[in-house]
Chain A
Amino acid sequence: MREKLQNLKNEALAQIIQATNPEELENLRTHYLGKKGALAEAAKELPKLTPEERSEIGQLFNDAKTAITDALNSKLEIRNLKLEIKEDLTLPGTPIAVGLPHPISAVAEEMNDIFQSLGFSVADGPEIENDEFNYNRLNLPPDHPARNLQDSLYLREPDVLLRTHTSSVEAHILADHQPPYRFVFPGKSYRYENVNASNHMMFYQYQGVAVGEGITLANLKWTLDTFVKKFFGPNRKTRFRCKYYPEVEPGVGVDTDCEFCKGRGCAVCKNRGWIEMLGAGMIHPNMFKKVGLDPRKYSGFAWGMGLDRIVMTRYGLRDIRALYNGDLIYKI
């Protein structure tokens, strides 16, 4: 009996799905659900069963009936709906308000997602900095020549300034957390720049740091390589080369193959075939010493990259000023 009901249900559903016109459906309804239909016939068997069987089979019977009824109804409804639509579906619909994140936020969120899946958390930190966290703790003592490269915007010379890079957040993380930890942090940075289409006195950086025992350049390579493949696509190539940054040793420059010329060399990549994407390296032992960590025991890597340029390339925006001055239109 159980099998019989099951087969009946399956057979009915299959026929309903295959039905192509309303008459066919109506015939099926009569055949299965009518007064003398298949289910009614099956119901006649019920009284012959034992009370236990009856309760179980009764349940099955009801299930089958509901399933067949629902299937018939929904098939009819969809058909009816289909029949009603004769209007031009390409006419503009009722406008609804769509909100979009700023492209910087959209990209930062995408990057956060990738790094969070690799075990990183997101940090942030102050934009007004002192000399200690913006420079000294990053192995940039007063009068270090590299300070030349980063013209600070001062609120009070020489000790209060707007952070010139998000590395200052790294300095705070080193001071505030005990290893092991992994953090990323997108944020604003400020430098003395005469504003034009490609430079701004305010820009965004995306920074990351991982500290623990046994962390190596090989881990840095894997982490950033994984990021590049996830963010830019599996075919993007990376190049790791030696580069000097005061806050790391050994230092690394990471390039991606130029997407405009596919590595052949063009004006965008200055004929190098590669585009500088980020600076990275193993955290300098002096930075560990500043926070009382033993650089012979702990190691870690850090990186920083310009977010604006990646955003501009991704969305085809050619003027950095448009990101912040109201010239950006949200098209949806």
Chain B
Amino acid sequence: MIVPLKWLSEYVKLPTRVSDLTDKLTSVGHMLDKTIANGIDLELRGNRPDMLGLVGVAREVAAIFNTRLQSPPTTPLPKTDKKSPLVNVDQSASDLVTRYTGFTLAVKVRPSPSWLVERLAAWGVPAINNVVDITNYVMIETGQPLHAFALDQLSGRRLILRRAKKGEKFHTIHQGQVLYLTSEDLVICDAEKPQALTMIGGLHSKVTDHTTEILLESAVYNQANCRRCARRLKITTDASTRHEKLLHPAQVIWALERAYYLLQELASAKSTSLVSDYYPQTPSQVVINFDPAEVVRLGGINIPPSEISGILARLEFQVALPKVTVPSFRTDIEQSADLVEEVLRLHGYDRIPSTPLSGAIPAPQTYPSYSIQEKLRRHLISLGLNEVITLPIISNRFATPASARLVNPPDPDAAVLRTSLMPGLSQYATRWLNFNQPRVAIFEIGKVFCKSKSKFSESLMLGIGVASLKVRLQDLTGVIQKLAALLGTALKPQITAQKNIFCAEINVDQLLPQLPRFTNPYSIISQFPPIIEDINVAYTGNYAAIVARIKKISSLINQIELIDKFENKLTLRLTYHDPKKQLSSTDIAPIRQKLESLI
């Protein structure tokens, strides 16, 4: 929100130093985005539509510095005509309109005076003519959008609010901009066609130099619908930004009264009708039962009840504790916790003490699904592998029938969620190989996603990739075997091969329940030396089976190591060992006999 400071000072006394003002505004919840020429730009706060008007900003400043707000002058509106001859809301659109209020005025359209032109320019709005400029000016002041129609261009000289027909055309005030509408859009029509949308006026009924009579309106719509329509139509205006927020319908009258005053002053306006006011449901005042003790319970700071009441009163709440009545412009305040924030922010967040958490420390309960990731990461790093993270949203060419797809991908060529870590890992490995990294050994721990019928699911996976120009499968299986030993469980990875790259993938969700709580890789060197000998065996294509068969022969065979593999022959190094005594060749002889039968 752009805030020209000279303009703001018309409503409230400002501190001499701009930084005193912006520091305080930042502290109470309106962060300074940047300072600009002769003004400041405050970040928009999603729940404070009142701060989208300069008077709202001034009111906040008055509360902060405990000074008086000087509201701009207004002129009371003509009486309300209960029959609402100017405004009719169709039944189909009754859920889209909260309040729609308008009346007609005779005006003299001419250029605005220079002070008004300059102020609008400071805010970034071009001057058009006095009538249009006043509607913009009042919106900037009050935060409440208004619109003026050229009455002679309205067929039937009245407005009908209804849902648009599918495909209905609308010409905006911007020459040549044509929108095609849906039944979700609210249109403000004359007897023939749409003349305005909630966020923008129409070309045909815009106020021009020839206009002599206008229909001035201000309205509050269904904010959600305004948001959806503005997004679908891709139109963002100062009006749409405000209509998307929770404006209070009471503000409509204030905005019209202010505009009426300025139109009288600058456009010689005279009302030519009573007010038509579509306002089927007046919201009741919000009254909150407020226990001042909530401030210390949530805030951790003791503020005397009198000071609490004082702060709330400065913010224009009516305080008769425990009852606190919320001013209508504060649509963000619904319950006690909201009032606690009001008190604390004005009292100063910097004055809240810093107090350690007290009470019993909750029992440690880190999720096993998280701990296992830390464990895998630690082990693989100890094996010399680097961890990488790749995008779960991947190129469409990796799509499988089980792939889940994004409905609204930012990049239409990458609309698929990975069902495997392998495409990402192998791309990553290729990239590193191309960077002349001689040896690539990487892993990733991450989710993969799946769609089956209409159900979506995700699983945690571990992917391991090794790559080099001379990569061997054993470079990968070596890692997996050591990892299995460290984890103390068998691993059954899915393995894929590509040129120069081997990848393995393990389902971590399935691994989790089979993981032993404890593994023991340590033992003390035996005082009885082992006997070591090499043997040759025929290779049948299954090393694990050969090892198992040899181990079965005797429990004294402590260790079997592959020394060499040549064609169909394996050279194995056997270590015989007895933890209880020194082995002699007579102990080994019967084992050797059995081994020979095997060879």
Contacts and interface: CB of A to CB of B under 8 A. Distances in A.
Q: Do A and B originate from a single complex?
A: yes
Interface string A307-332: 00000000000000001111111100
Interface residues of A, number: 86
Contact of A295 (B337, B380, B408, B437): B337
Interface in B339-370: 340-341, 344-345, 349-350, 352-362, 364-367, 369-370
A250 B340 CA distance: 7
A181 B341 contact: no
A327 B352 CA distance: 45
A250 B298 contact: yes
Given A98-B384, A180-B362, A217 B377 contact: no
A329 B390 CA distance: 14
Nearest to A202: B391
Nearest to B456: A128
Given A143-B224, A218-B355, A222-B356, A155 B393 contact: no
Nearest to B357: A219
Nearest to A182: B362
B421 to A, nearest CB: 13
A215 interface: yes
Contact of B45 (A121, A153, A244): A244
A170 B253 CA distance: 43
Contact of A102 (B387, B431, B439): B387
Contacts of A101: 377, 381, 387
Contacts of A25: none
A148 B227 contact: yes
Contacts of B417: 155
A100 B27 CA distance: 41
Contacts of B358: 214, 219
A246 B46 CA distance: 9
Contacts of B439: 97
A240 B344 CA distance: 12
Given A149-B46, A210-B357, A221-B353, A121 B364 contact: yes
A123 B367 contact: yes
Given A195-B410, A240-B350, A272-B32, A119 B393 contact: no
A253 interface: yes
Interface in A170-191: 180-182, 185, 188, 190
A216 B389 contact: no
Contacts of A239: 350
A212 B223 CA distance: 36
Contact of B223 (A109, A145, A217, A225): A145
A40 interface: no
Contact of A221 (B26, B32, B352): B352
Given A122-B367, A148-B231, A326-B388, 18 more contacts: A99-B383, A99-B387, A124-B369, A127-B458, A153-B407, A155-B417, A188-B447, A214-B358, A217-B344, A221-B353, A225-B354, A241-B31, A242-B349, A246-B47, A270-B34, A299-B298, A326-B432, A327-B431
Interface of B: 26-29, 31-35, 45-48, 223-224, 227-228, 231, 244-246, 296-301, 332, 335-338, 340-341, 344-345, 349-350, 352-362, 364-367, 369-371, 374, 377, 380-393, 404-411, 417, 427-428, 431-432, 435, 437, 439, 441, 446-447, 449, 451, 454, 456-458
Those 5 A-B pairs whose CB atoms lie nearest each other, nearest first = A218-B300, A97-B384, A216-B300, A143-B224, A250-B341
9 contacts: A143-B227, A145-B244, A181-B365, A240-B350, A241-B349, A242-B27, A242-B29, A253-B31, A326-B427
